Amino acid sequence: MPTVRCLRPVRLALVATAITAGVSACTIDGEATPLPVGQRSNPNKLVGTWEGTYICGQGNTALTLTVSASPAGSDLPRADVVFSFGPLPANPDVPRGSYRMTVTTDPDDSYRFNQKEWIDQPTGYTMVDLVGRLESPTELTGTVANSSCSTFTVTRTGS
C-alpha cells in the first residue's frame, strides 16, 4: 500500500510581515504529485462572465473572460475560456479580438489561463497567458505573461 502525504498551505508571520509559503502538494511514496481533485481550487468556480482591463504594449485594454464549465470526463479540473479584448474610451484605437484558452489551478491555488487558438486575430497581435488569484468571489487579479504586459483585473458580471 503506497504512503500518501499531503501538505496544506502554511502561513508564517515575521514581525508585521506575513509570508506565505506555497506548500500545497502531495507525495506518494516520496514522489511529488498534484493535490487530489477536491483538495485544491477548481477552475469551475470561475464559470461566468468577467469584465475589466489588462495592460500591455498597446496600453490599457478592455478585457472580457467568458468561462465555461469543464467537459465531462476531464482528467484534470479545468474550464474553457474565451479571452476577448478591445478599446476603452481612454484608448479607442485598440482593435477587437478574441481567442480560446483553458484555465487550470496551480498547486498554490492560483489560476493559470493558457492560450489555445485564435477566434478573431487583429493584425500584429499575439495571444498572452494569464496567472491570477481570486481576491474575492467577484474579483480576479493577476499578471499577464508577456514581457510587454503587466497586470489584469476583472470583476464577475454574470453567471
Answer whether residue 37 shows pLDDT above 80: no
Q: Dihedral of CA 143/135/79/32: which sign?
A: positive
Residue 30: CB atoms within 10 A of its CB come to 8
Answer whether residue 28 shows pLDDT above 70: no
Answer whether residue 18 shows pLDDT above 80: no
- Fold classification of 43-158 is Lipocalin (2.40.128)
Name the pTM for this structure: 0.73
**CATH 2.40.128.120 spans which residues of the chain?**
43-158
130 Cβ neighbours under 8 A, 6+ residues apart: 54, 83, 101, 111, 112, 113, 142, 143, 144, 145, 152
What percent of the chain is predicted at pLDDT more than 70? 70
Better-predicted residue by pLDDT, 62 or 10: 62
What percent of the chain is predicted at pLDDT more than 90? 57
Q: Which three cell numbers stand for residue 158?
A: 454574470
Q: How confident is the model at residue 27 (pLDDT cuts 50, 70, 90)?
A: very low
Q: What is the pLDDT of residues 86-127, one digit of tens each?
A: 999 999 999 999 999 999 888 888 999 999 999 999 999 999
Q: Which three cell numbers stand for residue 74?
A: 476531464
Q: CA-to-CA distance for 155 and 112, rounded, in angstroms?
A: 17
Q: CA-to-CA distance for 67 and 49, rounded, in angstroms?
A: 6
Q: CA-to-CA distance for 42 and 11, rounded, in angstroms?
A: 21
Query: Residue holding cell 496600453?
Result: 59
Q: Answer yes or no: are the C-beta atoms of 147 and 50 closer than 8 Å.
A: no
C-alpha closest to that of 86 among 133, 112, 117, 54: 54
C-alpha closest to that of 88 among 126, 60, 67: 60
Residue-level pLDDT at 26: 42
Q: What is the pLDDT of residues 70-84, one digit of tens each?
A: 766 555 578 899 999
Mean local confidence (pLDDT), 18-25: 35
